[in-house]
Structure 1
Amino acid sequence: MGIIGATTFTLLAASFLTPFSEAAAKDADNKRNRQVEVQILSMNDFHGQLDTIQKVDGKPAGTAAYLATYLKERQKQNPHTLIVHNGDAVGASPPTSALLQDEPTIEVLNQMGVSVGTVGNHEFDEGLKEMKRLIYGGYHPQTGYFKGARFPYVAANVIDKKSKRPILPPSTIQRVKGIPIGFIGAVTTETPKIVVPSGVKDVEFIDEVEAINREAKRLKKMGVKSIMVLLHEGGFEDKNSKEITGRIADITKKLDPEIDVVFSGHTHSYLNGTINGKLVVQGLNYGKAIADVDLIIDRKTKDVVSKKGEIVFTKHEGVTPDPIVDRMVKKYQQKVAPIVNQVIGKASVPITKQTNEAGESAAGNLIADAQRWKMNTDFAFMNPGGVRADIPEGDVTFGDLYTVQPFNNDLVSMKLTGAQIKQALNQIFSDPNRPHILHVSGLTYTWDPNRPANDRIIEVKKADGTPIDPNQTYTVTANYFLADGGDNFTVFKEGTDRVTGQSDLDALVEYVKQLPQPFSAQIEGRIKLAQ
């Protein structure tokens, strides 16, 4: 081909290519115009941690003011952003929130611009009436009138025992650029087993899958194709295989195909994976992380066409705390300071809730000792979920002890036989996958993980080393949660001659005050694994 021929060919090619290139670009523009990018930022299991600094990779993280900064910075990246929380926003809270009936946490969530939330098991800690007061507003004798949350709470699977109606709206619809996005709420059906029974006496927790799918069907009839689930239930993700296991996986596999994302909670874990085409995310706990879910939704079909998740850690380094939330938290701190700052004792070493392989911890031992001392019984038992924080070295304040034991459960003494005590210890393994290793005082026990779940306790001895007598009756102390069968420890409900005493927190405060100072506690071999 000659020079003229080559030039002619090039011009001809260009004349054909240009319209196609323009068409492709135009088609891409049209596609972008047909789609909306939506960002959903999620937090879970905040537990009122307004001012408690956490650690991620050994570096400071968390607190409300830093969490607010991360949320705002992410919002700047996308004007179409919704913020959600997946339960346990309050409950088991440190004193800055708890001493003010957790109203500060709701006010901070309002300030952060939360769009929708659901309840976790801890929202029921003080009963249905107090939970609804925090949501809808109302009067409390300690704090006065409270305006409540400025965002809706949803829960599809919690119904009133008498009316059989949901106690909260099952779902809500948020609209972004005219596109409806449905949010269905649900909480673990395990709730009655892990909260004080009086807190849930008026409600029933129906199957999560049944309730969520029923509500998804209703939303679909309304034309909602983008459906999110806020589910306060969790699981765990394998670091190598990335497989997610646990109840969250079992539930998600059975959910309606139209559901796009499941925002998880409860297990305080890292989740970012896919189950049956559904994105599942969970961002640790206590404000240490948020889950950032980016969706692309088709304007015409109103359905999600793309989704991806990211877990964002709220590390302090290089970040400025949000000034508005920072001022709010300082105001709350000033209100509780006279109570919180009282020095109760002095610890010679840090007393941590970290357990050894057998399940024993220094903090658990200290608390069990305090309860046995206060109620003057042979033995005491403490549930591990009630030990919420470490005790720092040095001056130990009322606030420190409150953070360790925030539930204010009354102590109950009772009588049990040695056989019943062994049976109660075997109930540690009623859920073999999540055993609740009881902290003890006045006795020791040895368990064998290789034995059947209902027969793992192989030896129970008094503190002096003598075996307990299965036929002898002993006096026992447990907090009200355990005494009423919490965490499946139903044997404690069989205890006779029950006497209710002071709260567990009061007992701990009094016990620490009377100890020789500085005081300490350590792992002593009260709980042992069989060799």
Structure 2
Amino acid sequence: MPISGTTGRRTTALAVAAAAALFGTMALPATAEAHGRGHDKPKYEDLQLLAINDLHGNLEPPAGSSGTINEIDATTGKPVATPAGGVEYLATALRQAREGHRNSITVAAGDLVGASPLMSGLFHDEPTIEALNKIGLDVTSVGNHEFDEGSAELKRMQNGGCHPVDGCYEEGREFDGADFPYLAANVTSEKTGRPILKPYWVKNVHGVKVGFIGVTLEGTPNIVTAAGVQGLKFGNEVATINKYTAELKRQGVNSVVALIHEGGLPASNIYNYDCGAGGSGISGPIVDIAKRLDPAVGAIVTGHTHTAYACMIPDPNGVPRSVTSAASFGRLYTEIDLKLDKRTGSIVRPSVTAANHVVRRDVAKAPDMTALIDHYRALAAPIANRPVGWISADINGRGSSALEKPLGDVIADAQLAGLSAADKGGAQVAFMNPGGIRADLVYKSTGSEGDGVVTYGEAFAVQPFTNMMQVKTLTGAQLVQLLQQQVSGSNDAAPKILQPSANLAYTLDLNKAGAARVLVDSIRLNGAPVDPNAKYRVAANEFLAGGGDGFPAFAAGTDKLVGASDLDLFNSYLTGHSSAGTPLAAPATTRIKVIGVGQDNG
């Protein structure tokens, strides 16, 4: 029955008061009481946010599984892999999305550069910064990969200037740096205690100030080389954002958006997954972070996990709040639409909607992006197009969901082959970290090289860090500890399974817990059990050998010998173990026998 008269108005007023108590500083939707008698009706300003994350310098359309997005076919109702990505299409998509919007801000959540394909990586990611300037990026947080070459190089990305070693790449042309601010609220100098870059950025949207706070994951030092984070401290994400949210509010900035380079693991890999009621369909670090951030933060843009979601996760008051991620490599962008209350300066939280959109390749290419790509392609061509090997079919790395990846095995074999000689380190076994495999080797030609030909540029996309290799001495007991640390310690909840060379085999039982998941009695090196008292020479890249990714057993190794780069060994192996007549085939992934529900590959 409709409510009328004074009783109805009183009930409405009580409901508004109760909602105000629940939502805190958030502005409420317009109601008869909130409007008063008409003369004080609040005015709202619409704001569109367009968000990307984890571009990783992918200017050209990514190849293989890195260049597709899963969506539901409207006819069959089944998932299909749709080609997506490439800055020529991303620029078009973002520009079209802005049309008709009085207020639009383009944001990002880190890892825009680093681990990049050759076109960007060869030039220390200057091409990607130039592309983002042209696309109209307004602000981004830093990610862990922004520290791959250290904080000085990150500041060069921000401020411009020629590379300190390689110099300027074209005579008379100096790199100008980013037109947008990099935000690093939780990255401070050990000497000064102050953030190394701006902690936040404020945009005045027709009278309403909107603040953006940018952080990277607190665990960045665990996944970046020690040299990359030397002299830096990485603070807690929640404490940092809440601190600067309070600071912004003291300055009269009541609309806050968090840009966080940390993410979640959604239950579905469909690009527009909504995570279910209350965010029940997503796990991972971002869930706890989102639930503890100040309710004044109106929206949370995330990254790092390369997954796609548009969730509503409750804030500390239990009120749903938008938390989004746009996968990686420029294959998606997120559109977040919201209203700003011009009376309070706050984001009207119930107004916030978010959706991911596929960067499809059936639209017109942006001419300025095409010109930029053509320019750097010509500069890189003499190196990028050189054949280094041949394959008989796809060899998946990044695109493999298995714990043991075919391309991971190839990389480990390449490292052992290149470092086994006595004068190269005398390596007896080699390991590759799965996160360092950045692409697949794809059989189908992406240029004029021909099917099955692996070019230097394609190999570079797989191993873009150019980490120097190390060989260390570990005892047999330490070697066992190394394998156990894949599934224990900091890797207990999210195992990091090392990719072993062909001469090592063991069983991993996922039905067990912690270190017990590695069945010690099953470990065989060259067919023999590992002697806990013997000494073994173990090869790995400098990141892994330094204890990165949660492997302190590596850091404890002795008698370090520094060898060639991982990329050089990979290229040498491809050249030496394949030809046009006898291409390299994907190895059988039988080195690790995995048992457990739905995981048995033995």
TM-score normalised according to structure 2 size: 0.81
Q: 1:208 aligns with which of 230, 237, 253?
A: 237
Amino acid at match of 1:423: Q
> Contact 2:200–2:213 (CA<8 Å) still a contact in 1?
yes
1:126-275 to 2 correspondences below 5 Å: 126-140=149-163, 141-144=165-168, 145-239=174-268, 241=276, 242-243=279-280, 244-275=282-313
Q: For 2:287, what is the secondary structure of its paired residue?
A: helix
Q: Give the percent of matched residue pairs that are identical in Structure 1 and Structure 2.
A: 40
Worse-superposed segment, 238-247 or 470-479: 238-247
* 1:76 paired to 2:138: no
CA positional deviation for 1:325: 1.1
- What corresponds to 1:384 in structure 2? 434
In 1: Cα distance, 2:40 partner to 2:554 partner: 63
In 2: Cα distance, 1:463 partner to 1:160 partner: 44
- What corresponds to 1:44 in structure 2? 53
1:86-125 to 2 correspondences below 5 Å: 86-125=109-148
1:299-318 to 2 correspondences below 5 Å: 299-305=342-348, 306-317=351-362
**CA displacement, residues 442-481 of structure 1 (integer Å, 9 cap, x when unaligned):** 2112111122212221045445422222221111101000
Q: 1:432 aligns with which of 487, 492, 500?
A: 492
Q: For 2:46, what is the secondary structure of its paired residue?
A: strand
* 1:326 paired to 2:370: yes
In 2: Cα distance, 1:528 partner to 1:119 partner: 38
> Contact 2:399–2:439 (CA<8 Å) still a contact in 1?
no
In 2: Cα distance, 1:457 partner to 1:281 partner: 36
In 2: Cα distance, 1:505 partner to 1:257 partner: 46
* 1:365 paired to 2:414: no
- What corresponds to 1:409 in structure 2? 467
Q: 2:69 aligns with which of 56, 63, 66?
A: 56
CA positional deviation for 1:77: 3.0
Aligned residues: 507
**CA displacement, residues 24-81 of structure 1 (integer Å, 9 cap, x when unaligned):** xx99999998111100000000000000331123221100110101100011031210
- What corresponds to 1:13 in structure 2? none
| CA RMSD, Structure 1 to Structure 2 (Å) | 2.1
1:14-53 to 2 correspondences below 5 Å: 34-53=43-62
CA positional deviation for 1:402: 0.2
- What corresponds to 1:375 in structure 2? 419
Amino acid at match of 1:285: S
**Residues 218 and 316 of structure 1, relative CA distance in 2, 3 Å threshold:** same
Worse-superposed segment, 210-219 or 509-518: 509-518
CA positional deviation for 1:247: 1.1
CA positional deviation for 1:237: 2.7
Q: For 1:148, what is the secondary structure of its paired residue?
A: coil
In 2: Cα distance, 1:433 partner to 1:321 partner: 42
In 1: Cα distance, 2:574 partner to 2:382 partner: 19
Q: For 2:485, what is the secondary structure of its paired residue?
A: helix
- What corresponds to 1:457 in structure 2? 518
* 1:342 paired to 2:351: no
In 2: Cα distance, 1:455 partner to 1:189 partner: 28
In 2: Cα distance, 1:31 partner to 1:343 partner: 71
CA positional deviation for 1:410: 0.4
**CA displacement, residues 166-201 of structure 1 (integer Å, 9 cap, x when unaligned):** 111111101111211000011100100001111001
* 1:528 paired to 2:571: no
- What corresponds to 1:471 in structure 2? 533
In 1: Cα distance, 2:42 partner to 2:387 partner: 62
Amino acid at match of 1:371: Q
**CA displacement, residues 119-152 of structure 1 (integer Å, 9 cap, x when unaligned):** 0000000001111101111221324132100111
CA positional deviation for 1:353: 1.1
> Contact 1:361–1:522 (CA<8 Å) still a contact in 2?
no
Q: For 2:146, what is the secondary structure of its paired residue?
A: helix
> Contact 1:358–1:529 (CA<8 Å) still a contact in 2?
no
> Contact 1:360–1:523 (CA<8 Å) still a contact in 2?
no
In 2: Cα distance, 1:355 partner to 1:282 partner: 19
**CA displacement, residues 204-229 of structure 1 (integer Å, 9 cap, x when unaligned):** 00111111111000100111111000
**Residues 462 and 75 of structure 1, relative CA distance in 2, 3 Å threshold:** same
Amino acid at match of 1:41: L
Q: For 2:300, what is the secondary structure of its paired residue?
A: strand
**CA displacement, residues 8-37 of structure 1 (integer Å, 9 cap, x when unaligned):** xxxxxxxxxxxxxxx9xx999999981111
- What corresponds to 2:29 in structure 1? none
* 1:497 paired to 2:553: no
CA positional deviation for 1:520: 2.1
CA positional deviation for 1:92: 0.3
TM-score normalised according to structure 1 size: 0.92
Query: Which one has a larger percent helix, Structure 1 or Structure 2?
Result: 1
CA positional deviation for 1:348: 1.4
Amino acid at match of 2:101: N
Which stretches in structure 2 are left out of the alignment for 5+ residues? 1-31, 71-80, 169-173, 269-274, 421-426, 444-451
- What corresponds to 2:509 in structure 1? 448
- What corresponds to 1:397 in structure 2? 455
Amino acid at match of 1:268: H
- What corresponds to 2:325 in structure 1? 282
Larger radius of gyration: 1
Which stretches in structure 1 are left out of the alignment for 5+ residues? 1-22
**CA displacement, residues 322-352 of structure 1 (integer Å, 9 cap, x when unaligned):** 1111111111111101000000111112111
